[in-house]
Structure 1
Amino acid sequence: MMEHARKGGVVSCAPTTVRPGACPSMRRATIAGLAMLAGAAALASGQVFTDVTGVNGVESHHSFPRERYGGMTGGGAVADFNGDGWLDLMVLVGGGEPDKLFINNGDGTFTDQAASWGVALAHRGIGCAVGDYDRDGDVDMFITSLGTLDQPQRDGQHMLYRNNGDGTFTDVAVEAGVNLQNPGRADGWQPTFGDYDRDGDLDLFVTCYDRSISGNTLYANNGDGTFDEVTEACGLEIECAGFIPTFQDMNADGHHDLILVGDSGTSRFYLNNGYNVFIDQTAHAEDIDTANGMGLAIGDIDNDLDPDFYVTSIFWDALQGPGNVLLINQGDGSFQNQARAAGADDGGWGWGCAFADVDNDGHLDIVETNGFSGFSGEQAYLYMNTGESPLRFEERAVPSGMGHFDEGRGLITFDADNDMDLDLVIFTNDGPLSFYRNDTPGGNALRVSLDTSRRSILAPQGQHASVYIGFGDQVRMDTMDADVDHCTQGEMVSHFGLGDVSNVDWVRVAWSDGSFTTVSDVDVNTLLTIRASSHPGDYIDDGIINIFDVIAMLGDLDAGRLEADVNGD
């Protein structure tokens, strides 16, 4: 690993190895060999994805009782729970069997260690969010639940798993004040962590499918391991059949707004007014209040340096709705639905989705799960971005090797094997999980992660920062968000597909406190970790602000290094 001082922190450049070699055990060697053979066959046939379910050690069958909400569940989350640089996978099994925690073996294969970590509970798990809520340097987990199967559905069963840093979790939801969301109602859907008040710790929003104004709930982090419920004070008492919440600065004013995806035309878009009160701006997001919102993806789909978003829905004439909604940021506070014109409106009975550059060509594609009563047996969808303007997509799921025909719910894209492309997990309702390894034959990439452990005013892992990269006359942008979707949360990494670009001229992080960090001359096919210094004025990142910071900055400025661009212009 190379490590060198840069403006605003230490930059770690760790080039990854494509397809790691020898494994420490015969079992893992056999698994890796089978996976490589499958990948070779896939490439020969022109496919992008190879189904490696079970072969890579990940195997799970979802089973949620056929009772209220049961047919809409299926999900999990990814994070590096043990801090070894490899992403792990949490799976909510639904109650028929205990949940599973697949720890990455360091080669893209996995071993279920849920029992030793203390999370092998059989319960009616629904949604999962991950984040370092206590700022102790490891990733914690919040899970919504309706309780174990030996009793009827009941309230007060949500879990906040604190990562103890020793390979175990402890449920502290009761002590933290977040186990009971909606007293008297067994409910709770997808949670999300986010720093809505910009104080550097992660707050918590939990959706509720029941349309009572006391259901969808915002908890403020007190910084001492406890939370206070602040829903009404923040203007968020909402009658919404809530599925997915996420905090994101959608109008570039430095404040984190709220997108709330809800069923039956109840999706909402709220702007943060700068005083942590949310103002309903749903009328400025075309068609989201008429869609049956199910899934959510956020990203710069048209490469114009602002965030757009996509809401999956039901494409069915009887409902007379718009189908999927692709909301393009107009730069004036409004969002225009271009799904139909772009060819991405009909996803059947859509659920989970993601923006992901699956072929590393520099253009975000759309992945979407599908299936429900009357739509069972339909395929999942892969809308490949053609790179044209205006936007146009071509559906290529089956030819690309993503032939999923079960009732998909949640969906996650992440780099499971550290080979610089995005793999895919689809969670099936009342059926088997599917794991697709990405074997795309070409396209360079750059992956960026953020470390804010030394600056307490910034959210953990740099959440809410914007990451920009420049090469030639091109600039790309990604927001470091929680990547929350239907019952799932994905990786906290910015992934940039680059096609045949062989070097990135610069990478710039716009931190949520208004400061910037710039790194120049970055190798491709690298995971780049940028660390925020203890203070924006600590140029050499030694924990002290003094004349030596000024001297170093002036030296970089005189040499024409982009690291000296302290105002991000």
Structure 2
Amino acid sequence: MRPVTFLIFSLYANFLLSLGAVTFTDVTSEIGLDFKHTDGRSGRFYFLEELGSGAAFFDYDNDNDLDIYFVNGSNLPGHNSAKRPINQLYQNDGRGKFTDVTLQAGVGDLGYGVGCCVGDYNNDGYLDLYVTNYGNNVLYQNNGNGTFADVTDQANVGDSRWGSGCAFADYDNDGDLDLYVANYVQFDFEKHKTCRFNDVETYCQPQDFQGESDLLYQNNGNGTFTDVTQEAGVYNSRGRGLGVVWGDYDNDKDPDIYVANDTNDNYLYQNNGHGKFTNVAFYAGVALGENGEMGSGMGTDFGDFNNDGFLDLIVTNFQDEVAILYKNEGNGFFSDITYISGMGEKTLSTLGWGTAFFDYDNDGDKDLFIANGHVCDNINQIYPEKTYPQTNQLFENLGNEVFREVATFIGSGSHQKTSSRGATFGDYDNDGDIDILITNSNRKAQFLRNDGGNQKNWIKVQIIGETSNRSGVGTRVEVTCKDLVQIAEVKSGASYLCQNDFILHFGLDGYDAIDKIIATFANGSICEIKQVSVNQTIQIFESGKSKTL
């Protein structure tokens, strides 16, 4: 960007901040991120090229700031490149800069990468990393000294299908993290074909490929996992799974699973508390898309947008469909309020991927972000009114179940349309507001710093399990400020192929004191802390202790 243009953007940003506005500034280059995604395309339209890849916000070195892991694709037949793409890990120095430490850390997987998720599966106090691939998935065990070890074979989690979304959770409440892995379709280079639409050669559709069953791995507690997909009741060969999120939607104190499937009914696996799941998606009203038709589920997230104590649901879909917002009615059923909320018309013309409920302006309710981009880079040749690059969207929660699209993206590059995929969320600079990291298909990633979101008060909560899993996954936290009561759960995975920060963030609007924080751990134990100061990060231990970071 030219200096004059940058100056204009800076002056505009300062003007907006002076008015109390929240803005997002593209600081990708400024903070040292130079990751560029490669899908290996060569004009042969391999179906593999469409999905893009994800990223993770996680504190791998336990220094209390967020580091970043990017998943990358690989070269495909016909792709001319002397450089082989590699996944990359960037270390946060705590002063706003990132350094590529991939080689030192030993996490530079060279497979055709898709997604990732994080969790302390061995309860040693350090976050481990799971990466899905087209081909063998990889489990990296964190050694606690800045390096990782590939323990895939020992752990028995190296499935060789086309993995996509993944997420850890302790579904059997035995104190260690289990792992759910979504699989997409059966793709074989030897059987590759292209398709034609409006006499234009392009990619085929998901329906042209056989789906795959997802996988559920039970943690044995000794560094190994057992595939319990069949026994647990989550086997389904029609699959085409992409986004995955765990959450206790029915408030029965065990984690349930939601899977967004592409051109297939979505799954809501209700946990019966005894190691078994039942798909209740049709019963609950979250299986199908608009007008009762099969949707093209991409990304998904659970979050309580209306502060009623029940987790609501967002699912992103294909262009000419909508991103569906489901309100949890609290009785086992969900209501589709997409058009009532104002999001229907706004998401009909976009193709959505990464998404999350998060409070970008710290006003005490959850807003929504959606990363957009088409799958076909020649879509405008087929349908001239459609484009491959698209604008990402931020929706402000106005209360009363209404959302308004807001344009708060300013700064270098943030107005440029691209074909985005993953979106991950966390407070990288520890200033009390949530920043956004976006992965783009075949382009550089984009980092949007939240400027001004911390003008209102906030609290961040880090959960430390002791008898339950160490990283606190599945813990529900309730924050009460007089009549403002909010909940959130510590989650692995979610969004689309991504991992958000484990530290929970709550905007507190104008409240200057917190009456109480209640943490209900995965094993049912409860810790309550009263009279907590605002604008700090607090660690809550399962034993009842707490401390400020």
Q: Deviations over 1:446-481 (max 9, x none)?
A: 1101011x32xx122221111111112221111122
1:357 is matched with: 359
Task: Pick one of 485, 506, 512 that aligns with 1:502.
Answer: 512
Residues 313, 525 of structure 1: alpha-carbon distance in 2 compared, 3 angstrom cutoff: same
1:137 is matched with: 125
Q: Residue type of the partner of 2:86? A: P
- Please tell me whether the aligned partners of residues 244 and 261 of structure 1 are also in contact (alpha carbons under 8 angstroms): yes
Task: Pick one of 306, 311, 318 that aligns with 2:315.
Answer: 311
Separation of aligned partners in 2, 1:230 and 1:413: 31
- The alignment status of 1:49 with 2:24, answered yes or no, reads yes
What RMSD, in angstroms, separates the aligned Cα atoms of the two structures? 2.1
Residues 399, 206 of structure 1: alpha-carbon distance in 2 compared, 3 angstrom cutoff: closer
Separation of aligned partners in 2, 1:504 and 1:315: 42
What is the SS of the residue equivalent to 1:430? coil
1:62 is matched with: 37
- Deviation, 1:298, is 1.2
Q: Residue type of the partner of 1:429? A: S
Residues 399, 532 of structure 1: alpha-carbon distance in 2 compared, 3 angstrom cutoff: closer
Task: Pick one of 457, 482, 500 that aligns with 1:472.
Answer: 482
- Please tell me whether the aligned partners of residues 50 and 436 of structure 1 are also in contact (alpha carbons under 8 angstroms): yes
Task: Pick one of 501, 512, 527 that aligns with 1:517.
Answer: 527
2:79 is matched with: none
- Please tell me whether the aligned partners of residues 39 and 50 of structure 1 are also in contact (alpha carbons under 8 angstroms): no
Separation of aligned partners in 2, 1:221 and 1:417: 34
Q: Residue type of the partner of 1:427? A: T
Q: Residue type of the partner of 1:498? A: L
Deviates more, 1:396-405 or 1:406-415: 396-405
- Please tell me whether the aligned partners of residues 414 and 423 of structure 1 are also in contact (alpha carbons under 8 angstroms): yes
- Deviation, 1:215, is 2.9
Separation of aligned partners in 2, 1:295 and 1:214: 18
2:218 is matched with: 220
- Please tell me whether the aligned partners of residues 174 and 523 of structure 2 are also in contact (alpha carbons under 8 angstroms): no
2:336 is matched with: 337
Task: Pick one of 397, 407, 414 that aligns with 2:419.
Answer: 407
Separation of aligned partners in 2, 1:354 and 1:463: 17
Q: Normalising to structure 2: TM-score of the pair? A: 0.83
Q: Normalising to structure 1: TM-score of the pair? A: 0.81
Q: Residue type of the partner of 2:301? A: A
Residues 234, 447 of structure 1: alpha-carbon distance in 2 compared, 3 angstrom cutoff: same
Separation of aligned partners in 2, 1:170 and 1:200: 23
Separation of aligned partners in 2, 1:215 and 1:531: 37
Q: Residue type of the partner of 1:174? A: D
Residues 74, 237 of structure 1: alpha-carbon distance in 2 compared, 3 angstrom cutoff: same
Q: Deviations over 1:189-232 (max 9, x none)?
A: 11211111111111111111127686311111111111110000
Q: Deviations over 1:373-416 (max 9, x none)?
A: 344232101111112x1x11111135666535100000011000
- Deviation, 1:52, is 0.2
- Deviation, 1:108, is 2.5
Q: Deviations over 1:116-143 (max 9, x none)?
A: 0012233311010111111111011010
Deviates more, 1:46-55 or 1:397-406: 397-406
1:242 is matched with: 241
Q: Deviations over 1:346-382 (max 9, x none)?
A: 4211111111111111121110011113442321011
1:170 is matched with: 149
1:158 is matched with: 137
Residues 52, 540 of structure 1: alpha-carbon distance in 2 compared, 3 angstrom cutoff: closer
1:445 is matched with: 458
Gaps of 5+ in 2: 1-5, 75-83, 187-209, 289-293, 377-385
Separation of aligned partners in 1, 2:437 and 2:147: 24
- Deviation, 1:273, is 1.5
- Deviation, 1:275, is 1.4
- Please tell me whether the aligned partners of residues 125 and 471 of structure 2 are also in contact (alpha carbons under 8 angstroms): no
2:90 is matched with: 102
What is the SS of the residue equivalent to 1:426? strand
Separation of aligned partners in 2, 1:208 and 1:220: 17
- Please tell me whether the aligned partners of residues 141 and 148 of structure 2 are also in contact (alpha carbons under 8 angstroms): yes
Separation of aligned partners in 2, 1:411 and 1:327: 20
Q: Deviations over 1:318-341 (max 9, x none)?
A: xxx5x1111111010011111111
1:115 is matched with: 103
- Deviation, 1:303, is 0.9
Task: Pick one of 35, 42, 51 that aligns with 1:72.
Answer: 51
Separation of aligned partners in 2, 1:331 and 1:446: 26
Structure 1: 4+ residue segments shifted above 4 A:
35-41, 211-214, 398-402
- Deviation, 1:40, is 6.8
- Deviation, 1:525, is 0.9
Residues 89, 336 of structure 1: alpha-carbon distance in 2 compared, 3 angstrom cutoff: same
- Deviation, 1:172, is 0.8
What is the SS of the residue equivalent to 1:42? helix
Identity level (%): 32
- Deviation, 1:515, is 2.3
Residues 501, 98 of structure 1: alpha-carbon distance in 2 compared, 3 angstrom cutoff: same
- Please tell me whether the aligned partners of residues 291 and 324 of structure 1 are also in contact (alpha carbons under 8 angstroms): no
Deviates more, 1:92-101 or 1:291-300: 92-101
- Deviation, 1:265, is 3.0
- The alignment status of 1:461 with 2:471, answered yes or no, reads yes
Deviates more, 1:116-125 or 1:461-470: 116-125
- Please tell me whether the aligned partners of residues 243 and 261 of structure 1 are also in contact (alpha carbons under 8 angstroms): yes
Separation of aligned partners in 1, 2:267 and 2:545: 44
Task: Pick one of 381, 396, 401 that aligns with 1:384.
Answer: 396
What is the SS of the residue equivalent to 1:310? strand
- Please tell me whether the aligned partners of residues 213 and 237 of structure 1 are also in contact (alpha carbons under 8 angstroms): no
